[in-house]
Structure 1
Amino acid sequence: MRNMKMTIEYDGKRYLGWQRLGNSDKTIQGKIENVLMQMVGEKIEIIGSGRTDAGTHARGQVANFKMKSTLSTHEILTFLNRYLPNDIVIKDVSEVGDRFHARYNAKAKQYSYYVWNDVIPTAFYRHHSFYVPQELDLEKMGKASEKLLGTHDFIGFSALKKTKKSTVRKIEEIRIEKEGAMLHFTFIGDGFLHKMIRILTGTLLEIGMGKLDMNVIDDVLENKIRQDAGETVPAAGLFLDEVFYE
């Protein structure tokens, strides 16, 4: 069996997320698996680096799958991009060692979140950003983001309830940059909990609006109470940029 690695770009606007659902064909994983099965004539299961929620986008999702076919990587790439919907694009296909696993071997991930921050909304980026007309204190948001760096239990900044799995994660970098009306948040870390980036972004935005005090970061990291953090911003502004491997 050959082990194949793919890098995938998709616009998640009309999909129910990455993970295959038995009662729907509106998932990224399901769409790709269906085309792969047409290509090789055998059942294929792809493993993604992680799930993305309904409406979330990706520039660099990584997945792997096993197959018996002797098709070249170029033939696989060409076939997939010919028959997949035009909002799902395979950017690269390569053959990797048998032990490569897109999820278990991932060391870190980079996400972006986009906010359109102007009194006038945008027609072009409305499906790929969150509209915030209020004036924001970017300096205060930057200082608040520094409190999130390092290793913490982030369950209070997630949509998870109680779980037996560890909710400790390490955030290596948070950048907040503004170009014109577009505010670009960048998050790099060893992993992120369910809706964690959307809740962190919502919290930082409410700090920037003056709705929350900067100390809310320390409070939620300590008390782990989700309700004390900011709102969960919409999935439309979220992009998985890159998955890092050794």
Structure 2
Amino acid sequence: MGILDTFSLRNHVVVVTGATGVLGKAFVDALAEAGAKIAVLGRNTEKLQERVEAIEAKGAEALAVQVDVLNEEEVIKAKDEILAKWGTINGLVNAAGGNIPGATIQPDQNLFDHDVKDTLKAIELNLYGTIIPTHIFGRVIAESGKGSIINISSLAASRPITRVLGYTVAKHGVDGYTKWMSVELALRYGDKVRVNAIAPGVFLTEQNRNLLMDSNGSYSDRAQKFINGMPFQRLGEPDELKGTLVYLLSDASALVTGETIFVDGGFNSWCGV
């Protein structure tokens, strides 16, 4: 097998939660281009169908499943539907997540007046929305003897980013869960079952648009602070996550597990001087 062959995902069955989001779209496109069969999961049926059509236009196979990743029964049904179609699952991308408006603490808001219930909702979406699919789809991957699970971390798990408390706490949990599960799966199922995370830098998505863009269409002060903190001096493009995703799902990263890879234009490395 040549080095380029190790990056192929041809005939791999990969589940992508949160496939209707901006980053989810980039992930789905990358998988289609790498030859995978893709189960796209999300809550918006219209966007799910758009993803299927885009995948099929690239010559790949797709299955859309409407599901709430916080509902175990729905996730189990999704697993059964995927297995009925393709018979196995080789990879999982836990892309469901993001911040929610009520969990963002405004600069002029009293920190201690913040509604904790909103913070808990953000934690549930990002952390439980990773754990639940992993325990359901991951079991299939582990018992098949080979596969890869990708979680989505964040800069917020390594740097304290103001205002997004619930998101920050959840992403710290995702990092810890990634390491813990990678060790447990390796010890119990061997060296062919891996768990890693991608920590994207700052990308403009629907969830953070109100934080990064002003009403006139220009970058907000907050967005400019992010840009100033990156050696690359710009926000990321979703397509720039594609290579890292395919690498971690493929045999090219066969000895990589328990790691979080930053795709952030150097933000996490730079002290600003």
TM-score where L is the length of structure 2:
0.27
Question: Which structure would you say has the larger RCO, counting Cα contacts within 8 Å and 6 or more residues apart?
Answer: 1
- Structure with the bigger percentage of strand: 1
Which structure is larger by alpha-carbon Rg, 1 or 2?
1
Instruction: Considering fraction of residues, name the structure with more helix.
Output: 2
Q: Normalising by structure 1, report the TM-score.
A: 0.29
